[in-house]
Amino acid sequence: MSSVLISIIVPAYNIESHIGRCLDSILAQTHKRIEIIIVDDGSTDGTGIIIDQYASIDQRIIPIHKENGGVTSARIDGIKKASGEYLGFVDGDDYIEPEMFEKLLDNAIKYDADISHCGYQMVFPGRVEYYYNTGRIVQQDKIAGLKDLLSGSFIEPGLWNKLYHKKLFYTLLYENVMPMDIRINEDVLMNYWLFKAADSAVYEDFCPYHYILRKDSAATSILNEHKLKDPVRVMRIIQQDSKDIPEVKEVVEERLTRQLIAISILSVKKQGELIRPFRKEIRNELRTKLKLILSNSYMSKSVKIRAGWVVLFPDSYCWFHTLYAKITGLDKKYKIE
């Protein structure tokens, strides 16, 4: 297994304060046969200079400098350059433990899995949350993997805690299925194509990936049009493609319903002016689908109630949700001061 080449793709944009720690953690991997393809996506700070400095020291680092096109285009360029039998991803402002890719590769080979994935640590200023760290191992066939991914209840939708066999990337590279202008939940869509192409996956519950929450990161940035529309757009693309996979149809509908409910909450908050035209579309879609939602056996009673509430009394639902979030502390869980 030590002879297997792993290509690790790192998209980077204006992260000069973080990229060094990221690269140091990848270079420290116990699996030594790696190539690190780092894609500088048009950075305007010193990120590109730091990347070139690292590349001059270690020949395993392959730098790519390109005009800014977003994280999807950066990853696609990295995938095209990769020559490894397996591919992994690390975001340029995160870092990983030394054993991460060795353990993921061991599991991929041991369980004959096309995808090997693990848990992660979500690192906030002053605290760390683990998702999860029990040591259990779960094997998944294609359908189980897709259902777990699309439900959002088990598989983390990010690309960065997984190892993929290179054969899975054909559709991504040659069938033009990834819109380059999607900036939010693009990893859900990319993972959909990869899990759909995979015959099986294996998950081990350990947390070697440090996912860093920063005030200026995409996960914590202020509301914008991408945050509002991209998650729904992604699920609609998946919904259209998965029509011929009956086992996941209701899961996709449930996920899309939750996305619409979440956006309907934002539509009546202080940023409501941004999506006033979108708000009517959301309510109309939920109203049209309400009978289908209520008859969905996969949909929880809670989601069904919330969908009906949003259709009938959207303002009161937003008020209730805001109050509930304050009482339970949910409004502060991902807030970065």
> Three-state DSSP class for 39?
strand
Residue linked to tokens 């859900």: 188
CA distance 196 to 186: 16
Question: Taking the CB of residue 241, how many other CB atoms lie within 10 A of it?
Answer: 15
The CATH number given to 6-212 is: 3.90.550.10
CA distance 89 to 92: 9
CA distance 179 to 117: 25
Reported as a single tens digit per residue, the pLDDT across 25-68 is 999 999 999 999 999 999 999 999 999 999 999 999 999 999 99
Q: Pick from 167, 252, 155, 246: which is nearest to 201 by CA?
A: 155
Q: How far apart are the first and last CA of the chain?
A: 44
Tokens of 37: 């393809």
Q: What is the pLDDT of residue 109?
A: 98
Query: Residue 153: CB partners within 8 Å, gap ≥ 6?
Result: none
Burial class (CB in 10 A: 0-12, 13-18, 19+), 228: buried
Q: What is the pLDDT along the chain (337 residues), one digit of tens a residue?
A: 689 999 999 999 999 999 999 999 999 999 999 999 999 999 999 999 999 999 999 999 999 999 999 999 999 999 999 999 999 999 999 999 999 999 999 999 999 999 999 999 999 888 888 887 788 999 999 999 999 999 887 788 999 999 999 999 999 898 889 999 898 899 999 999 999 999 999 999 999 999 998 766 555 455 567 777 888 899 999 999 999 898 999 999 999 998 888 877 765 554 556 566 677 788 888 888 888 898 988 888 998 998 888 888 877 877 787 777 778 766 566 565 5
Q: What is the pLDDT of residue 267?
A: 54
DSSP 31: S
- Report the predicted TM-score, pTM, of the whole model to 2 decimal places: 0.90
> Three-state DSSP class for 79?
helix
> Three-state DSSP class for 282?
helix
Angle between helices 246-266 and 301-312 (to 10 degrees): 40
Question: Taking the CB of residue 227, how many other CB atoms lie within 10 A of it?
Answer: 20
CB distance 259 to 232 below 8 Å: yes
CB distance 311 to 287 below 8 Å: yes
Tokens of 120: 């992660």
Instruction: For strands 200-212 and 115-124, give the pairing.
Output: parallel
Instruction: For strands 137-141 and 200-212, give the pairing.
Output: antiparallel
Q: What is the pLDDT of residue 283?
A: 81
Residue linked to tokens 């402002």: 93
Q: Pick from 93, 95, 91: which is nearest to 74 by CA?
A: 91
